[in-house]
Homo-oligomer: A and B are copies of this chain.
Amino acid sequence: MSPATSSRWCPTPEQLMILEELYRSGIRTPNASQIQHITTHLSFYGRIEGKNVFYWFQNHKARERQKLRRKLGKQLQQQHQLYHHHHQPNHSQLKHHLLHYFDSRASSPLQQFSCFSPVRFLPQGGQSENAPQQMMNHTWKVNIPESRAEIGKSLMGMYGRDWIMMMDAAAAPPPSPSCCASRPPLKTLQLFPITATNLKEECNSDSSNKHLSCNTTINN
């Protein structure tokens, strides 16, 4: 029960706020670099690891989706029994269409190709171009001969397209590992100069079929 023995990550309010803001700004499936940066940044507010960020986005996306799914289901059902009793336009399918909003590939195409752009917040200034080699974001085919002992804790994310490898960003143990350490708000505000492409979250029924038609025509 001691905070050091706590088996799972307990996000501080600041961490949570930032994560949610990033999510709102369009990030759904951060890749290795993004996770690394986010983790580094958030580690300032408390202990955190890459996997926590990874999981958080995965869970949050899934749960927002299911929330929306439920809401839409109820809504459509209601609408249905109010108006036309027959001639059903296949609700589940419509729901399915709408839910494409949450697909990481479908949403925010910008974030798929620019590695760092969505996470422009590093408090140490925006010199993210100065230390690119720390990320080794290009290949996982290098031969590291023997220095096994100093691997980092690293992440295999069967995610971003290739397996992400990154050190745990939360190297510095924060002085107050317990939750709810309310720090000064800091630079949280300059975090999101992001061209939020297509978010909208509480999606309102329309304009989603374009997505789908695009998707469905691709395969088969």
Contact = CB atoms under 8 A, between A and B. Distances in A.
Nearest to A32: B156
Given A49-B140, A140-B49, A144-B171, A163 B152 contact: no
Interface residues of A, number: 36
Contacts of A171: 143-145
Oligomer copy total: 2
A143 B173 contact: yes
A158 B164 CA distance: 13
Nearest to A166: B151
Interface string A152-167: 1111111000011111
Contacts of A142: 153
B154 A141 contact: no
A142 B154 CA distance: 11
Given A143-B173, A168-B140, A171-B145, A163 B153 contact: yes
A100 interface: no
Given A51-B163, A163-B51, A150 B156 contact: no
A143 B155 contact: no
B156 A164 contact: yes
A147 B151 CA distance: 9
A147 B134 CA distance: 9
Interface in A167-207: 167-168, 171-173
Nearest to A159: B156
Contacts of A157: 156
Contacts of A149: 133-134, 136
A49 B147 CA distance: 17
Nearest to A143: B171
A46 interface: no
B143 A172 contact: yes
Interface in A8-49: 49
Contacts of A168: 140, 144
Nearest to A154: B154
A118 interface: no
A60 to B, nearest CB: 16
B147 A150 contact: yes
